Amino acid sequence: MSVLIKEKDDANCVAPNLTKKKESGLELLKYLILGVLFGIVFVKAEIISWFRIQEMFRLQSFHMYGVIGSAIVTGIISIQLIKRFGIRSMHGEAIHIPKKEFRKGQIIGGLTFGLGWALTGACPGPLFAQIGSGFTVIIVTLLSAIAGTWVYGRFADKLPN
Amino acid sequence: MNWITQPWPWYVAGPLIGLTVPALLILGNKTFGISSSLRHICAACMPAKIPFFQYNWKKESWNLLFVMGVLIGGFIATNFLANPDAIVISEVTQADLAALGIIDYTHLMPSDIFSWENLFTAKGLLFFVIGGFLVGFGTRYAGGCTSGHAIMGISALQWPSLVATMAFMLGGFLMTHVFLEPLMKIVGF
């Protein structure tokens, strides 16, 4: 039997599930609904567009910088409010955000992702929205991204980190 | 109801995306990050005894439902809320892209590149296979993507995420300004 990695010990898991309460079935539907809303915003703000990503990297439009910048500002304010007022999760748990440790991978992997971002016009989120929007050939891009993740996992211990 | 079909401006979309951060935290103590879904798919479908994929992915199935939702959201927005007009892109960008052979603005994605006809061609190899691989490999190596690092990480004032975001941008600038044109020439644009 394989040994399970404890999420808190796993530097590579950036979006760990820290809730202690076990959620199942219908309770998980709220994440699906949140995803649907998110996907609609992606398409309506044209974030999934390869053209918009080209505009961004060519510094020829403010649109994408405005989207990402105002998303970050909203996020910062929200987290500060959660901390200041000790807001708890719906299940009454204290909200916990894991600390990210610096690794070389954030630079090397980050550059690698950036190269791919400009080619595909998509980060992982928009890949799913592009497929939903009817650009079905992006299924190939998604499969290749899954393969890339797998290859990283296979050689993770041999890469500089 | 006109505003629904028109493209939404950045000052509407950005804050809505930012609100995903507190929404996930409050709904279930979840940290926002989308590229993790790719890892969960590997862990679920082909773990191959690799230590990196030996963890309780079922506990992370919320993340898979979230990306499934993103796909459905894309479908709804495109089929029921779509902008009837062609996408409006900066004229300077249009001129730059025309020089590379990209001229069709009827959809959000250029049909000159992203079509099934290009799948088994050098164009498909570059934009789908190599592009997708770089996205999947790079985001996992970096430990996150635009959502996990740029939005969630910086929102929580974590400096490693700022470093990662700067690396994302640098990689994108390098591809766009240095490699894209020669690569597109090689694959037949």
Count other C-beta atoms under 10 Å from residue A157's C-beta.
10
Q: Is residue B92 part of a domain?
A: no
Output phi, psi for B176, to 5 deg.
-65, -45
pLDDT at residue A18, as a whole number: 72
pLDDT at residue A16, as a whole number: 66
pLDDT at residue A149, as a whole number: 98
C-alpha distances out from residue A121 to A8, A28, A49, B30, B85, Å: 32, 30, 7, 27, 21
pLDDT at residue A4, as a whole number: 37
pLDDT at residue A14, as a whole number: 54
pLDDT in tens, B146-158: 999 999 999 999 9
User: With bands split at pLDDT 50, 70 and 90, how would you rate the model's confidence at A1?
Assistant: very low
Is residue A3 pLDDT above 70, yes or no? no
Q: Would you call B186 an interface residue with chain A, using a CB distance cutoff of 8 Å?
A: no
Residues of A in contact with B41 (CB under 8 A): 146, 149
pLDDT at residue B1, as a whole number: 66
Instruction: Please give the span between the terminal C-alpha atoms of chain A, in angstroms, as a whole number.
Output: 27
* Alpha-carbon torsion, ordered B94, B99, B105, B108, to 10 deg: -80
Q: Would you call B32 an interface residue with chain A, using a CB distance cutoff of 8 Å?
A: yes
Spatial contact of B136 and A152, defined as CB atoms under 8 Å apart: yes
pLDDT in tens, A99-119: 999 999 999 999 999 999 999
Structure-block tokens of residue B92: 């300077």
Q: Is residue B39 part of a domain?
A: yes
Contact residues, B window 51-110, toward A, CB-based 8 Å cutoff: 51-56, 59-63, 65-79, 81-82, 87, 89-90, 92-93, 96-97, 105, 107-110
Q: Is residue B94 part of a domain?
A: no
Q: Do B15 and A45 make contact, defined as CB atoms within 8 angstroms? A: no
Structure-block tokens of residue B51: 């230590």
Q: How far is A26 from chain B (nearest CA, A)?
A: 11
Determine the structural domain holding residue B78 and report its residue range.
1-82
Spatial contact of B89 and B108, defined as CB atoms under 8 Å apart: no
Number of domains in chain B: 2
User: With bands split at pLDDT 50, 70 and 90, how would you rate the model's confidence at A10?
Assistant: low
pLDDT at residue A25, as a whole number: 78
Is residue B54 pLDDT above 90, yes or no? yes
Helix ranges restricted to H, A46-104: 50-57, 63-84
Over residues A32-43, mean pLDDT: 97
Residues of B in contact with A81 (CB under 8 A): 22
Q: Is residue B108 part of a domain?
A: no
Domain ranges of chain A: 1-100, 102-161
User: With bands split at pLDDT 50, 70 and 90, how would you rate the model's confidence at A13?
Assistant: low
Comparing CA positions, the residue from B41, B163, B25, B44 lying closest to residue A16 is B25
pLDDT at residue A64, as a whole number: 98
Domain match, B63 and B131 both: no
Domain edge (last residue) among B82, B106, B139 = B82
What whole-number distance in Å separates Cα of residue B33 and Cα of residue A97?
12
Q: Which residue has the higher pLDDT, A23 or B58?
A: B58
Q: Is residue B109 part of a domain?
A: no
Structure-block tokens of residue A147: 């393969």
Residues of A in contact with B17 (CB under 8 A): 38, 41, 67, 71, 74
Over residues B14-42, mean pLDDT: 96
Q: How far is B87 from chain A (nearest CA, A)?
A: 8
pLDDT at residue A2, as a whole number: 32
Query: Does the model's pTM come out above 0.80?
Result: yes
Mean pLDDT, all residues of chain A: 90
User: With bands split at pLDDT 50, 70 and 90, how would you rate the model's confidence at A26?
Assistant: confident
Domain match, B174 and B133 both: yes
Q: Which residues contact A139 (CB under 8 A, 6 or more apart)?
A: A131
Q: Is residue B119 part of a domain?
A: yes
pLDDT at residue A106, as a whole number: 97
Residues of A in contact with B165 (CB under 8 A): 110
Domain match, B70 and B123 both: no
Count other C-beta atoms under 10 Å from residue B127's C-beta.
27
Q: How far is B41 from chain A (nearest CA, A)?
A: 7
pLDDT in tens, B56-77: 999 999 999 999 999 999 999 9
User: Could you tell me which residues are beta bridge partners of residue B150?
Assistant: none
Q: Would you call B30 an interface residue with chain A, using a CB distance cutoff of 8 Å?
A: yes
